[in-house]
Chains A and B, each alone.
Chain A
Amino acid sequence: MHPFSFTKAATTREALDAGRRGGRYIAGGTTLVDLMRETVERPEALVDISDLPLREVRVTERGGLRIGALVSMSQTAAHPKVRSLFPVVSEALELSASAQLRNMATIGGNIMQRTRCTYFRDVTADCNKREPGSGCAALHGFNRMHAILGTSDSCVATHASDVAVAFAALDASVHLLGPDGERRIPFADFLLRPGNTPNREQTIRQGELITAVEIPALPRPLKSGYLKVRDRQSYEFALTSAAVALHVRGGVIREAKVAAGGVGTVPWKLPAVERALVGERPSDALWTAAAEQAAQGARPLSGNRFKVELLKRTVERQLRIVGGTK
């Protein structure tokens, strides 16, 4: 670990000031401290934002949910409104990490977490994300856990968050506060695909602070849930995952929200699957046909060809779990 300074911000103002001077925000620290130990991250100044008043979960006027950036993963998952309105969020969180990590890690930190790509985390390996221009060791290396969607020749690393997949599916947005005031970015635009600049991962600017994630109101009744396929039954990242939310009225699917995890360089929204569902009546045949669209554009690597088929099956299974069988 490289030496660094550590200060605690008592107010949002203080945090923004420190951020403007180049300070890195730290909340739960479950990603950042890990990466500092590996010397992947070498911040000179850490600004602890744990005391800021960003710990509220509330229902918005229109019936959506606003989750403060400092609400822990476990508090979010257990919140009665999250559980009743968007079970997919609770399920995604509860299938993430371990109980200890979920108690420490925050929602803001979760969507800022960096990839688990083994080469990114090993400073002696080539990685364009860590060291632009050095190359991508994963492209022709160990890439079983890597992405098949949204990749580039520069980077094939997955975004490891589960709850971000649920947020992407639900068309959530991210609230930011910076020196120039507040702004709000749709989740789909917040996390960036690697392209030629895999070192740029979010649209956040230096010194900006995530204040909340907001899930918009969706028509009710809404059934939702998260399925995570992984090698072991707890404390492991997804091979594939699917977040599904369906609004069915009069026997017809009126609204469908679907995204996949473990397969994309960012949480992967599946609009083609959504389109195939809307206006149709739930049936096993529909689930199969819609899930067939899930892997459109997939570019599998030497070690993860199985993910193409597994992704379709994961989406199909979760459509059935949420939407029911005839």
Chain B
Amino acid sequence: MSPQPQAAVGAPLSRVEGRLKVTGEAQYAAEFDVDGVVHAVIVDASIGRGRITGVDTRDAEAVPGVLRVIHHGNAPRLPYRDNSNGSNNPAGRRLRVFQDDRVLFHGQPVAVVIATTLEAAQHGASLVKVRYDAQRPSTDMADAEADEPTRYARGDAEAGLRDAAVRMDLTYRMARNHHNPMEPHATIARWDGNRLTVWDKTQWVVGTQTELATVFDLPMESVRVISPFVGGGFGSGLRCWPHVVVAALAARETKRPVKVVLSRKQQYFGTGFRPSYEYRLRLGSDRRGRLRAVVHEMDAETSSYETFDEAIMLAGQMFYSTPNVSQAYRKVPLDVNTPIWMRGPGFANASFAIESAMDELAHRLRIDPIELRLRNEPAEDESNGLPWSTRRLRECYTVGAREFGWHRRNPKPRSTRDGDWLIGLGMAAAVYDPGRMPAQARVRLDADGTAVVEAASSDMGPGTYTSQTQVAADALGLTMRTVTFRLGDSRYPRTPPHGGSMTMASVGSATLDACNKVRGQAIELAVEDEESPLYGVRVEDIVVRSGRLHVQGDPTRGETYQRLLARNNLTHLQANGSYAGPPDPERHSYYSYGAVFTEVGVDATLGLVRVRRMLGVYDVGRIVSPKLADSQALGGMVGGIGQALLEHTVTDHRDGRIVNADLAGYLVPVNADIPDLKAIYLEGEDMQADPLGVKGVGEIVQVGVASAIANAVFNATGRRIRELPITAEALL
């Protein structure tokens, strides 16, 4: 087949589902109108650790409309088969809802009240009296023992440090962050005999399907998970949380469809979070700033019942040329619920430490921060000896420095002032390891010349609906209007989690494959059909545009899909497509890159930091959907500003209570905090990466933002802040 002309891919299109969203027609999990649905409200543990000694449900049951109160004392035992295969569940034993009397963290579900109205369920839940035998929980990393570390080493880092001309020993601390998507997590569960249907807020219908099948010991095909729209996720929807099981259990016990919507407060312990980190970095360099040795020690919180792991180590292994590296990643089990990935997982934390440290080294050696980074640019991935697929970081620096006006930065801290504001410029590099996993998709091209593509997938906001439609439209030779992409249903072909920047590469490649196959079928049909104007034409000489197959270079010779299918008495053509995942073993080292530049103002008297402008320049391969990619970058920068200056989940270590579990106490940026943001994507593609040449956008855009801001604060004030978020008290 001839290569298809690119029409939709690369065009700055608006969201195809935009109208549905702004008119309120898009249905989110809690909005599905399921006949006979009743409401469930979860009662949360008010202790941080211990045992339940009694549950008094009399007052709750007396509330008119209350149907049932379920807790560990009256809940049926659930099979909870192992779910290690293809799930996002971390290693360890799972939290088994209502299966025993143990409380593992503050806020753990201990009972659920099911009622005919939401109000009755809420009132009932407030009347359930739970008695506890409480113990003091361990929720402070500083006082807890870590698990055996995960280690990495090359060369002899300690010897390298000893011999280095310049040595630094720096410790960075990062607060716990919560995703806080706008849409609360919600589930509606309905049983039809032994078949379970769940409308859920999730970034992975297949994962939720798998978890429910194992918890209730059902065949996979007996569980259907539906999730066409997700009102933001940032990672919080990457696994099936306890409330989903609660909904299914409550529905089974009451024999009614049951809806559970977590309150804003419940999101703070009913779903995961970006764990807090302590990241100690000891580095040694020569006098010209070339790194000789780096020792990374990373402590992160995890729960007492699961070991959450994330890619915190990779940046320290591959990003800068360093002969001697040693790493220890320790997970500290605490009486908290299990963390989960959050935008830029691992890398957004590692980069705060590494990119702050590089800035500190640059200042100490009086080298420009960009120049220092260039001096440490590796020729290949030193952790595995593989060549880069693409690594255009130098261009990111060059373009960024030029567009941002980096040359105007005075390297001397505290040298620029605007009234009460000290002005500082800072930059940081960014890297992310985008995933690629096996995925499937199917397409059906109908005789009316329209096509429907389906894949389980998800669209939590990045624009999957739109970008997949763009890929499909070009591969089929159809216009955007004539292609419909459907997602968010476990009955569709299987796809990996919608996270880790892997959807475009994985699902997109499967979509491409399916659509190429159908186009190929149509072309084959035409060239073998004596009545077709394309009869006898070489397959590779035919292209399809706007639903019309024709000879490349001769648009007059051809016919439409409609005519071709009608004449052949075909109602449709269809094909399944797949993407097999990356080659095993990998032949290239494959990362997305970026450079973030920012200008901040600091009112050092009052401890205020204001971001004045920000630019991100990214090397992420082909951009399928420029307008949506731009939105991704802006959103990532806003998330990074939150991580840098505001976001901090605070735990009261006396009883494990999260004390700012709402949007009044947990601050995210508001419009007034966000200045002029700009993103530039380097043109090009990475054809080593995947058939589409993409590297993934969604995660990298939060990486480096916090370090760029902290570096700019240093340039403004001379104060080095090594703890996130950067607060007023740290600057006074």
Residue numbers of A with Cβ under 8 A of B are 1-3, 39, 116, 118-119, 122-125, 137, 140-142, 229, 231-236, 239, 305-306, 309-310, 313-314, 317
Contact = CB atoms under 8 A, between A and B. Distances in A.
Residue of B119, B123, B657 with highest tally of chain A CB at under 10 A: B657
Nearest to B663: A235
B133 to A, nearest CB: 16
Contact of B670 (A118, A234, A314): A234
Interface string B608-631: 101000000000000000000000
B379 interface: no
Interface stretch (B321-329, B357-365, B467-475, B646-654): B646-654
A141 B654 contact: yes
Contacts of B654: 137, 140-141
B167 to A, nearest CB: 32
Interface of B: 46, 119, 122-123, 126, 420, 605-608, 610, 645-646, 650, 652, 654, 657, 659-660, 664-665, 667, 669-673, 727-729, 732
9 contacts: A1-B122, A123-B126, A137-B652, A142-B660, A233-B610, A236-B667, A306-B728, A309-B732, A310-B606
Contacts of A235: 670
B123 A1 contact: yes
A39 B670 contact: no
A147 to B, nearest CB: 16
Contacts of A137: 652, 654
B611 to A, nearest CB: 10
Given A1-B123, A118-B659, A118-B665, A310 B728 contact: yes
B66 to A, nearest CB: 13
A232 B732 contact: no
Contacts of A142: 650, 652, 659-660
Majority secondary structure, B binding face: loop
Contact of B667 (A119, A231, A309): A231
A231 B669 contact: no
A141 B659 CA distance: 9
Contacts of B607: 229, 306, 310
A34 to B, nearest CB: 9
A231 B727 contact: yes
Contacts of A313: 605-606, 732
B657 A122 contact: yes
Contacts of A124: 46, 657
A116 B667 CA distance: 14
Contact of B606 (A122, A234, A305, A314): A314
Given A314-B606, A317-B605, A141 B652 contact: yes
Nearest to A98: B670
B673 A233 contact: yes
B116 to A, nearest CB: 15
Contact of A125 (B645, B657, B660, B664): B657
Contact of B646 (A3, A118, A140, A232): A232
B664 A116 contact: yes
Contacts of B119: 1
Contacts of B673: 232-234
A232 B665 CA distance: 12
Contacts of A116: 664
A158 to B, nearest CB: 14
A231 B732 contact: no
Contact of A2 (B126, B652, B657, B669): B126
B650 to A, nearest CB: 5
B670 A233 contact: yes
Contacts of B606: 229, 310, 313-314, 317
Contacts of A232: 645-646, 667, 669-670, 672-673
B652 A310 contact: no
Residue of A119, A232, A233, A309 with highest tally of chain B CB at under 10 A: A232
Contacts of A125: 657
List 3 A-B pairs, minimum CB-CB distance, nearest first. Answer: A306-B729, A124-B46, A233-B672
B659 A306 contact: no
B610 to A, nearest CB: 7
B175 to A, nearest CB: 13
A119 B670 contact: no
Contact of A3 (B123, B652, B729): B123
A220 B237 CA distance: 60
B42 to A, nearest CB: 14
A232 B672 CA distance: 8
A125 B660 CA distance: 13
A313 B645 CA distance: 21
A319 to B, nearest CB: 13
A231 B646 contact: yes
A317 B420 CA distance: 10
A234 B672 contact: yes
A2 B123 contact: yes
A311 B562 CA distance: 75
Contacts of B46: 124
Contacts of A122: 657, 659
Contacts of B610: 233
A300 to B, nearest CB: 11
B728 A231 contact: yes
A3 B59 CA distance: 14
A306 B732 contact: yes
Residue of B659, B671, B727, B728 with highest tally of chain A CB at under 10 A: B659
Nearest to B728: A239
Contacts of B645: 231-232
A225 to B, nearest CB: 15
Nearest to A234: B672
Contacts of B665: 118
A141 B656 CA distance: 11
A83 to B, nearest CB: 21
B126 A39 contact: yes
Given A1-B119, A2-B123, A231-B728, 17 more contacts: A1-B126, A123-B126, A124-B46, A124-B657, A125-B657, A141-B654, A142-B650, A142-B660, A232-B646, A232-B669, A233-B610, A233-B670, A234-B671, A306-B728, A306-B729, A309-B732, A317-B606
Contacts of A310: 606-607, 728-729, 732
A275 B144 CA distance: 52
Contacts of B657: 122, 124-125
B521 to A, nearest CB: 55
B728 A118 contact: no
Contacts of B729: 305-306, 310
B728 A229 contact: yes
B608 to A, nearest CB: 7
A117 to B, nearest CB: 10
A36 B558 CA distance: 70
B126 A229 contact: no
A231 B666 CA distance: 11
A301 to B, nearest CB: 13
A140 B659 CA distance: 13
Nearest to A118: B659
Nearest to A305: B729
Nearest to A122: B657
A124 B46 CA distance: 6
A134 to B, nearest CB: 13
A310 to B, nearest CB: 6
A125 B47 CA distance: 10
Contact of B659 (A1, A119, A123, A231): A119
A236 B664 CA distance: 7
A292 to B, nearest CB: 14
B727 to A, nearest CB: 7
A132 to B, nearest CB: 20
Contacts of A2: 123, 126
Contacts of A239: 728
Residue of A1, A124, A317 with highest tally of chain B CB at under 10 A: A124
A191 B49 CA distance: 39
A125 B106 CA distance: 12
